[in-house]
Chains A and B, each alone.
Chain A
């Protein structure tokens, strides 16, 4: 089975290059958000009241639901606009990073231009829809 080669990304300042850069920078941004989350959690008495697994759930997505089942006494400190913003930032970086990665994998197996363009449109729609669902869940 011979697969047709897909179009190689062009050199220069274009969408593919920008997304290449975005993938790397968003990875660093996600590391930063997770570190802020873990540090703040430890300052908010996570060490006595949370397991490592719960701490990681909070680090990946700082949502008060993720600490609801721990022995944290005052959950009000874990809510608020700051954590909403951090959660939405995480959602934005992770969603764009992940769905662009999915597109990258799929495009390795696709050679026809119209299928590729259709797929790009489809993944963009999925990204918009999932972001809307995510923001709704975070702000709930």
Chain B
């Protein structure tokens, strides 16, 4: 696609971007997930400390304390952090852009074990084991 920005949604979905495109999409989803979670969390902390909002604050707490939500938000935070570090390194040292596919492989090698262990722990405690 390059500089031709005038593409529709379906044409965009057919774009075969492979690895870099996948990290781009997941980075966006992760970022939006973190904004949603942190925003909710701050509002909940604020409301829990107000006499009129304690109930609403505690209700929001129960949403993000559920283990299913934690699987999602930990994916968002960890992927966004690790992929973000790759973007920062490649952007601040542009010569390394040549190795961006290798960088993405390293990124998955870092991400998958950490997320796998966390997933195991979250699910085990979620199922009450």
Q: Chain A interface (Cβ within 8 Å of chain B)? A: 1-6, 8, 24, 27-28, 31, 60, 65, 94, 98-99, 101-102, 105, 130, 133-134, 136-137, 140
Contact = CB atoms under 8 A, between A and B. Distances in A.
A26 B72 CA distance: 24
B46 A137 contact: yes
Given A24-B88, A102-B35, A3 B8 contact: yes
B72 to A, nearest CB: 15
B6 A3 contact: yes
Interface of B is mostly: helix
Contacts of B43: 133
A137 B49 contact: yes
Interface string B6-26: 111110000000000000000
Given A5-B5, A98-B38, A140-B49, A24 B28 contact: no
Interface of B: 3, 5-10, 28, 31-32, 34-35, 38-39, 42-43, 45-46, 49, 77, 81, 84-85, 87-88, 91-92
21 contacts: A1-B8, A1-B9, A2-B6, A3-B7, A3-B8, A8-B3, A8-B5, A27-B84, A94-B38, A98-B31, A98-B34, A98-B38, A99-B35, A101-B31, A102-B32, A102-B35, A133-B42, A134-B42, A136-B46, A137-B42, A137-B49
